[in-house]
Amino acid sequence: MESESFSHHISRRFNAELEHLRSEVLRMGGLVEQHLDTAVEAITAGDSDMGLRVSNEDHKINKLEVTIDEECRKLLATRMPAAADLRLIVMVIKTITDLERVGDEAAKIGYLASHLATDREPYASYTELKALGEHVQEMLHDALDAFSRMDVDDALAVIEEDKLVDEEYDQITRQCISLMMEDARTIRRFMDVSWVARALERIGDHAKNIAEYVVYLVHGRDIRHTERETVLQELEAAKGDRPASG
Amino acid sequence: MPKVWTWTLSWYGGALVAGGLVGYLYDRTTLGVLVVGLGLLAWQLYNLYRLERWLATGEITEIPDGDGVWPPVFAKIQFIKGKVKRRGKRFRKLVKELRASTEAFPDGGVILNSRHEIINYNQAARVLLGLKNRRDRGQRIENLMRYPDFVDYLNNPGGRQAVDIPSPAGGDTWLSCRLIPYGPEQMLLLIRDVSQRVKIEKVRRDFVANASHELRSPLTVIMGYLDALAEDDRIPDGWKQPIGVMQDQSIRMRRLVEDLLQLSKLESGQSVPKDHVVDVAAMIAAARKEALALPEHPDSIEIELQSPANLLGEETELQSVVSNLVANAVRYTPPEGEITIRWTVDADGGHLAVQDTGIGIAEEDIPRVTERFYRADGGRARQRGGTGLGLAIVKYALRRHDAELEIQSRLGQGSTFVCHFPRDRLALS
């Protein structure tokens, strides 16, 4: 799709290059999503091979990040983009950093899953982790969808979701603490569990970042570290005077 | 010439001649013809003007009349207009019916152009893929369906008919996606909900894996005691033979359980990464050594290495491919027969062939010998220690290495099992 914000270039090649860049980012996103899915499944299924596979294949994501980064630099140098195009490239550079971090966290989860799978104990279903994992998977998926559709409303919804993820994380932490106090022999395992929860919570933050970049891309407003009410007001005001695009 | 034209031409000709005659009376022949000619021209122009207005506005419903050639012209246009209108109506109805039927279709369909941009989709596709109404037209499909397997398939379908991927709309839904190119520029993406099938397969796989796993521990205990009993001097001689049989059978059972476990692992079907180099020569040598250690084996087991190339993949799995093929050949080849293990590389890729001069396989059995527990000749293989799973393991292990198994065989003359590895699985030194 040639999105309206960068559809009117004299150079059609530039359009194609930007379009390709977008697709590459989403391809990387797809790979990261798959790693996260596998990592979460490794936890719930108690499959150590699966977990190790994720942690061993992290280099694929890193390689993609380097390639896309290089492509961005080339575009900046040769095309000297302005306005919406510049925002897209800046946004891409930030997004791939976040995606790469998500990949790292997924690798960490995979590694911890292989740990958790080895000591078989009755408490092995990890339902809370599964719920948190699914929540975070959905956030990442929606953030990337919002990027591919350039949909601000969906992006704002993702940002809102992050609060719920934080709450779930707090709950798991509290639960782990009380279980550790009950039986000191389980401390090691629940340390691992809380590390997994921590990694998932971080992935939620990265998904939120990506959603914020989408708002920045479409409206040209930086909404990081801003209260939701202020953001909504600002966006309402911005509807009248959209930033010069193109 | 149609009658109307003869009539018109003669009428106009007559009018011109009459004009000329009247002019002649007043000694102005040319002027007479000219006046009548101009009058006729004006009349034609007027009719032409009415025709143009009629066609342009389309408001005037009745046929403008005229004379000479005009009435038939008007009538014909009227007729064509009506036909076009009726045809348009028919087409609109047809399109509506077609759309209604594609909407009712239980499988999803997405029409893509050559750049993978979504042109159109039906209701089922919208639900299965979580597309947004209207807004997602023009979006590239891989931007929304980011699952790596799908993106690979889209860019390079290769020989694959379809891929199974989790639905981007979330949940436990699995979709089978199939790409059908049509016309020069477009393709149809067919999407079918296969969650049920995937779920059943998983349940079956898990069951086999769990059952085998659970069977292993009691079996170990039984085998331990049997070993102890066999070595105990206090056991009466009459029991020596039954205990020996029990030992043999429990060894067979353990092998069966191990094969089942291995098979359930291999069945997951994911392609093995290409990051390990596996030494083909060493692998073949190991398989030969194993075969020679069997109690009964053919005298001659030859190795023909025609290429120094190695393979990329998982060593244990490839080793079990070669070992199973060789063990299979040994099982069906008489002691005076011959077995040849051959490794060749050509433009298509690598070929690992295991050829024997054994009993061979009947033609109708060839497609079925890789099925689990399928036996071409009832009891024979069982006596010789086969589990019935060897070739199934070979098939699945090869599939994980993007390779294919080809079986050539003639009853009584021997069989050749060839594994065809694609070029990108080769490590050419």
Contact B328, B390 (CB under 8 A): yes
Residues in A touching B144 (Cβ below 8 Å): 145, 148-149
- Name the residue facing B143 among A23, A34, A151 (closest C-beta): A23
Looking at A120-124, B43-47, B91-95, B368-372, which range is the least confident one? A120-124
Which residues, 6+ apart, have CB-to-CB distance to A109 below 8 Å? A36, A39, A40, A42, A43, A51, A54, A196, A199, A200
Nearest residue on chain A to B150, judged by CA atoms? A30
Q: What is the pLDDT of residue A91?
A: 92
pTM as predicted: 0.70
**Phi and psi at residue B310, to the nearest 5°:** -115, 175
| Tens digit of each residue's pLDDT (9 = 90 or more) over B71-81 | 777 778 888 88
Q: Do A27 and B142 touch (CB under 8 A)?
A: yes
Q: How distant is the Cα of A116 from the closest Cα of chain B, in angstroms?
A: 19
Task: Name beta bridge partners: B303.
Answer: B341
Token couple for B115: 């750049």
| Residues 59-118 (B) with a CB less than 8 A from some CB of A | 117
**Tens digits of residue pLDDT in B168-200:** 887 788 999 999 888 778 899 999 999 999 899
Question: Which among B114, B129, B146 is the top mutation candidate for probing chain A, defined by the most A β-carbons within 10 Å of its own β-carbon?
Answer: B146
Say how far apart CA B370 and CA B372 lie, in whole Å: 6
pLDDT at position A229 is 74
pLDDT of residue B344: 92
- Give every residue of chain A whose pLDDT is below 50, as ranges: 1-5, 122, 243-246
Judged by a CB distance cut-off of 8 A, whether residue B171 touches chain A is: no
- What is the model's pLDDT at position B224? 93
**B176 and B163 in contact (C-beta within 8 Å)?**
yes
Residue B374 touches chain A, beta carbons under 8 Å: no
Residues of A in contact with B142 (CB under 8 A): 23, 26-27, 30
CB distance from B166 to chain A under 8 Å? Answer: yes
- First-to-last C-alpha distance (Å) of chain A: 17
The reported pLDDT for the residue numbered B222 is 93
Q: What pLDDT score was predicted for residue B79?
A: 85
Would the CB atoms of B140 and A23 count as touching at under 8 Å? yes
Give the CB-side neighbour count of residue B420, counting CA atoms within 13 A. Answer: 7
The ipTM value here is: 0.80
Is the CA virtual torsion A91, A97, A103, A108 positive or negative? negative
Q: What is the mean pLDDT of residues B314-332?
A: 90
* A35/B contact by beta carbon, under 8 A: no
pLDDT, position B382: 56
Q: Is the pLDDT of residue B65 over 90?
A: no
Using CB atoms and an 8 Å cut-off, which of residues 136-155 of chain B contact chain A? 136, 138-140, 142-144, 146-148, 151
Q: Tell me if A1 and B146 make a contact (CB, 8 A cut-off).
A: no
Instruction: Check pLDDT > 80 for residue B13.
Output: yes
Cβ neighbours of A15 in B, within 8 Å: none
Chain A residues with beta carbon closer than 8 angstroms to that of B138: 1-2
Using a CB–CB cutoff of 8 Å, tell me whether A7 touches chain B.
no
**Does residue B317 sit at the A interface (CB-CB below 8 Å)?**
no
In chain A, residues with a C-beta closer than 8 Å to the C-beta of B166 are 37
